Structure 1
Amino acid sequence: MTLTLTGCGAGSGDGDVTLKLIAADYGDSEANSSRHYWDNLAHEFEKKNPGIKVDVDVYSWTEVDKKVEDLVKAGKAPDMAQVGAYADYAARHQLYSTDKLLSIPTEADFTPGISDAGEYNRVQYGMPFGASTRRLFYNKKLFAKAGITSPPKTWDDIAHDAQLLKEHGVKMPFALPLGPEETQAETLLWMLGGGGGYTDTIGKYTIDSPQNIRTFQWLQKNLVAKGLTGEAPADVNRADAFQGFADGDVGMLNGHPTLMKQAEAKGVDYGTTELPGIDGKAKTTMGVADWMMAFKQPGHRSEVGKFLDFVYTTKNVLKFSSTYGLLPVTSSASQAMMSDDKYSKLHGFLEQLPHAQFYPADKTSWPLVSKTLKAKMGAAVGPRGNPSAVLTDIQNTADAADNTVG
C-alpha cells in the first residue's frame, strides 16, 4: 500500500519549493505506520520554513527500493529517499555528498561507526536512518527448567545448553534462521563469532576464509546434525524464529531490539547477552542501518539540507527510534537514550553500536552477494551440505561481481 503525505503546515499551498521524499514504512499496521511520523515532522518543518513544502510517499519495505529505482530510471528522481541501500546511486554520481547538504554540527553528530558505513570511495553519501545491533536472546523460564543458571558465553556453551533444552522437550533449542528472508544477517553474526566476516580491512571479500569455513563446519556438526536447531535452518526465516521465541518454543536465538516488544506482548520472560564466540564472547556484533540519501537531479540542495538538518535534530531522531524500537544514529540522541531509564532494555544494544560491524553496503556488488547468500547458506549446514564448497562458490560470485563493477 502506498501512503502519500501532503505537508499540511503553514505555507503548504504556496511554497516556493516542493521537496519529494520516498520513505520506507517501519510500522506493522496502519495505526503505527511511519506515515504518522512523517506527517507530523513535515507539518512542524513547514511551519518553521514557509517557503518549503514537503511531500512524502511512504511504501512498504517490499516496494520502496523498487519504487525509487523506477523513478530514477525514468528521470524523475525524488529529492530524497530513505531506503535500504545507497551505493549504486553514489557510484553513478547521482547523489549529493553529505558535506554539501548538512550543517557541520549535524554531520558531526552521526555515530562514528555508522557514519563510516555510509561512505562510497571514502566520501559519505548515505546518511544513517534507524539502526540496530544484535544480541543473544534466551528464554529464562526454559533455561530454569533445564537447569541452566547463566546465559552462554561461548559456542561450546550454546551447544551444551541447547542439548539440555532439547532433553527437556524444547521444540527449537537454538533457532538458526538461514531461510531466504534474512540469511545474510545470521551468516554474518556467526562469521563474527568465529573471528571472520564478509570483508577484510581494505574491503576485499573474505567469504571463504579459513575462519568462516570453520564456523559453518562447527554449526553443521555441533548444532544441526545433533537436532539442536529443531527444524532445518534452510526452512526457518527470521520471522518464524521470532514468532517461535514469542510463543515459548525457542530457547535461544540471535535477535534485534524489535524482538523485545514481540516477546513482551506474549509474556515471555527473556534475557539478552552479548554474542558468544568460538572461544569467548564475540569480539563484535553486527549492526544494521538504513539510509537517507539526496539526489542531485531535482536541484534543491539548499532546501534539502535545511530539511535534513531538521530531520536529524536530537528530538526527532529520538522520537523515531523510540517509536519503532530502533537505535538512534546520532551521538546526541544516543546520549539522551542512555541517560533515560525508560530505555534501559535498549542500553545493551546501544552500547554495542559504535563498534558494530555493518554489511559492506558501500560495495555495488553487495546486493548480488546478499541474494546469493540467501539462496545458498541454509543448505550449506544441512546433512548433505558442504560449507567449504558453498562459501567458495559465493566467494567466486562476489569476486566476479567486484571485477565487473571495477
Structure 2
Amino acid sequence: MTAAVAGCAGPATAQEVTLRLVAAEYGDSAGNSSKKYWDELVEKYEADHPDVRVQVSVYSWNDVDRKVKEMVAAGKAPDMAQIGSYAEYAARNQLYETGQLLSIPVQADFLPQLGDSGKVRRIAYGMPFAASTRVLFYNKKLFADAGITDTPQTWNDLAEDAAALKANGVKTPFALPLGPEEAQAETMQWLLSGGAGYTDGVGSYKLDSDANIETFTWLKDELVAKGLTGSTEPAKLNRADAFAAFSRGEVGMLNGHPTLMEAAAKQGVEFGMVPLPGRDGAARANLGVADWMMAFKQNGNRQAIGEFLDFVYSEKNVLAFSREYDLLPVTTSASEAMSAGKSDADLTPFLDELPQAELPPVGKKSWAEVSAAVKERIGKAVSENGNPEAVLEGLQQMAVSAESADQ
C-alpha cells in the first residue's frame, strides 16, 4: 500500500524541502491503516512547517524491508525508513547517527534498553519506533475444565498443566510455533527462560551453550514427544496460525504479544496472562521486540529530518501510535503516561515486562542472516528424529561464520 501524503496547497519554493519516508503497515483494515496515522500526523506537522513536505509510502511487513533494500541499491534511498532492521545500513555508513538528528531531550527519552539496542559499535543509528514483549496466554475456561487452579510457575508446572489439558481433550495444550514466520522470537523466549540466549555476556554468539541445548532437549522430550503441542509439527506451525487457533478456543497456552488480546476477545475467549516461567522459577529475562526508524544520509536533509523526527517522538504522538496498534511506547514519558492511564490497563502485563526485556542482537549486521537460519532450522531440533545439540551447533557455526564475514 502506497500513500503520498498531500502537503499544504500552493507552489513549491526554492527553500522548500521534501522528505520521503517509507513506513510499515501495522493495521489490518482501511480504518486503522498506518496510512491513516501518518496522514494525520503529517498534516499537523506541515501546518506548522509550510516549507516542509513529507511524503509517506506505506507497505506491508511482507514487502517493506525489501522495498527499502531495493531503493537503496538503486541509489534512491528514502530520507527515513521505519522497518525491521537497521544494522546493515549502519555498517555501510549510509545512516545518520541518532545524535546528529534528534534533540537531546528526545534522545534521552528513549527507554534505555531500547535505545542501547539501536547501537552499532556503541554508536546509535537505529531509533526504536514500536515495541512489544511476550507473555504466556492461557485459556481460562480450558484450565477450569481441566481442573487447573494455578498458573504455571516452572517448566514442570507448565508440562503438568499441558498434560492435564490433553487428558481433558484439548486439541493443542501448548502451541509451539517454530515455523518460518517468527521462529526466531519463540526461540529466544525459550532460551531466555532457560537462563541463556543467543549471545553470551560479552555479546558473542553462543547458540550452542549447555543451557540452550538443555532447553531444546526439554522442549523435545517433555512437550513435543508427549503430544502436548498439538497435531501440527512445531517446525510447520507459524505464529499467525497459532494465534488464530487460540482465538478459536483450541489452544490451552502459548506465548503471545499484545495484538492477541483483541483477536481472542473478539471471539469470546476468556484468557489470562502471566510471565513465561523459567526452568525452576522466574525466567532470567523476557523477550523484547522493537521495530526501527532510521535516516539515510544520501539526500542530505539532516536538519529537516531531525526536526520532523522530534515531532514524531513527542509524547502525544508516541502514545497515539501505541494505543492505535496495541503496542508499547518506546519512550519513558509515554510509558509512564500509559502506565497511569486506566484505559491502557490491558497492556499492564506487557509494560511490566519491558524494563527487564532483552532484545535479539539486532545491532549485529550478521543478525539478519542468523535470524533467517534460525527460522529455517530450529524446528528440526524438536522433531521426532531431531537432535537439539546438532541443530544448535550447526547454527552456532553458521553464526560465527556470518559474524566473521562482517568484521
Global fold match (TM > 0.5): yes
Query: Do residues 352 (structure 1) and 353 (structure 2) align?
Result: yes
Counterpart in 2 of 1:399? 400
Instruction: Provide the C-alpha distance between the structure 1 equivalents of 2:398 and 2:57, rounded to a whole number of angstroms.
Output: 35
Instruction: Provide the C-alpha distance between the structure 1 equivalents of 2:291 and 2:200, rounded to a whole number of angstroms.
Output: 22
After superposition, give the CA deviation of every residue in 1:177-208 in whole Å (9 maximum; x if it has no partner). Answer: 00111000110011001001001122100100
Query: Do residues 248 (structure 1) and 249 (structure 2) align?
Result: yes
Structure-2 change in CA distance of 1:270 and 1:54 (3 Å): same
Supply the AA of the counterpart residue of 2:127.
M
Supply the AA of the counterpart residue of 2:208.
D
Task: Give the deviation of 1:13 after TM superposition.
Answer: 4.8
Supply the AA of the counterpart residue of 1:20.
R
Instruction: Provide the C-alpha distance between the structure 1 equivalents of 2:293 and 2:28, rounded to a whole number of angstroms.
Output: 21
Counterpart in 2 of 1:45? 45
- Asked if the contact 1:9/1:42 (under 8 Å) is kept, the reply is no
The equivalences for 1:301-312 within 5 A come to: 301-312=302-313
Task: Give the deviation of 1:290 after TM superposition.
Answer: 0.3
The equivalences for 1:61-210 within 5 A come to: 61-210=61-210
Task: Give the deviation of 1:12 after TM superposition.
Answer: 7.9
SS in 1 for 2:63: helix
Moved more, 13-22 or 64-73: 13-22
Counterpart in 1 of 2:261? 260
Moved more, 222-231 or 25-34: 25-34
- Asked if the contact 1:102/1:306 (under 8 Å) is kept, the reply is yes
Instruction: Provide the C-alpha distance between the structure 2 equivalents of 1:362 and 1:12, rounded to a whole number of angstroms.
Output: 42
- Asked if the contact 1:10/1:47 (under 8 Å) is kept, the reply is no
Instruction: Provide the C-alpha distance between the structure 2 equivalents of 1:373 and 1:287, rounded to a whole number of angstroms.
Output: 17
Instruction: Provide the C-alpha distance between the structure 1 equivalents of 2:319 and 2:11, rounded to a whole number of angstroms.
Output: 26
SS in 1 for 2:76: coil
Instruction: Provide the C-alpha distance between the structure 1 equivalents of 2:42 and 2:272, rounded to a whole number of angstroms.
Output: 38
Instruction: Provide the C-alpha distance between the structure 1 equivalents of 2:67 and 2:233, rounded to a whole number of angstroms.
Output: 34
Counterpart in 1 of 2:273? 272
Task: Give the deviation of 1:348 after TM superposition.
Answer: 1.4
Task: Give the deviation of 1:6 after TM superposition.
Answer: 2.3
Task: Give the deviation of 1:10 after TM superposition.
Answer: 5.9
Instruction: Provide the C-alpha distance between the structure 1 equivalents of 2:295 and 2:348, rounded to a whole number of angstroms.
Output: 31
SS in 1 for 2:32: coil
Report runs of 4+ in structure 1 exceeding 6 Å deviation: none
Task: Give the deviation of 1:150 after TM superposition.
Answer: 1.4
Structure-2 change in CA distance of 1:222 and 1:7 (3 Å): same
Supply the AA of the counterpart residue of 2:99.
D
- Asked if the contact 1:82/1:292 (under 8 Å) is kept, the reply is yes
Counterpart in 2 of 1:5? 4
Instruction: Provide the C-alpha distance between the structure 1 equivalents of 2:320 and 2:119, rounded to a whole number of angstroms.
Output: 26
Instruction: Provide the C-alpha distance between the structure 2 equivalents of 1:130 and 1:7, rounded to a whole number of angstroms.
Output: 25
Task: Give the deviation of 1:232 after TM superposition.
Answer: 1.4
Moved more, 21-30 or 302-311: 21-30
SS in 2 for 1:204: coil
Structure-2 change in CA distance of 1:215 and 1:17 (3 Å): same
- Asked if the contact 1:153/1:276 (under 8 Å) is kept, the reply is yes
Instruction: Provide the C-alpha distance between the structure 2 equivalents of 1:265 and 1:47, rounded to a whole number of angstroms.
Output: 38
Task: Give the deviation of 1:345 after TM superposition.
Answer: 1.2
Q: Structure 1: which 5+ runs fail to align?
A: none
The equivalences for 1:17-28 within 5 A come to: 17-28=17-28
Counterpart in 1 of 2:324? 323
Counterpart in 1 of 2:291? 290
Instruction: Provide the C-alpha distance between the structure 1 equivalents of 2:25 and 2:391, rounded to a whole number of angstroms.
Output: 34
Counterpart in 1 of 2:362? 361
In the superposition, the TM-score normalised over structure 2's length comes to 0.98
SS in 1 for 2:253: strand
Task: Give the deviation of 1:351 after TM superposition.
Answer: 1.8
Task: Give the deviation of 1:379 after TM superposition.
Answer: 1.5
SS in 2 for 1:138: strand
- Asked if the contact 1:12/1:46 (under 8 Å) is kept, the reply is no
Supply the AA of the counterpart residue of 1:4.
A
Task: Give the deviation of 1:59 after TM superposition.
Answer: 0.6
Supply the AA of the counterpart residue of 2:2.
L
Supply the AA of the counterpart residue of 1:240.
D
- Asked if the contact 1:11/1:50 (under 8 Å) is kept, the reply is no
The equivalences for 1:209-228 within 5 A come to: 209-228=209-228
Identity of aligned residues (%): 57
- Asked if the contact 1:35/1:58 (under 8 Å) is kept, the reply is yes
- Asked if the contact 1:153/1:277 (under 8 Å) is kept, the reply is yes
SS in 2 for 1:4: coil
- Asked if the contact 1:10/1:46 (under 8 Å) is kept, the reply is no
Task: Give the deviation of 1:403 after TM superposition.
Answer: 0.7
After superposition, give the CA deviation of every residue in 1:333-374 in whole Å (9 maximum; x if it has no partner). Answer: 001100001111101101211221101011111111111111
Instruction: Provide the C-alpha distance between the structure 2 equivalents of 1:12 and 1:176, rounded to a whole number of angstroms.
Output: 56
Counterpart in 2 of 1:343? 344
Supply the AA of the counterpart residue of 2:57.
D
Task: Give the deviation of 1:32 after TM superposition.
Answer: 1.4
The alignment yields a C-alpha RMSD, in angstroms, of 1.1
- Asked if the contact 1:11/1:47 (under 8 Å) is kept, the reply is no
Task: Give the deviation of 1:388 after TM superposition.
Answer: 0.1
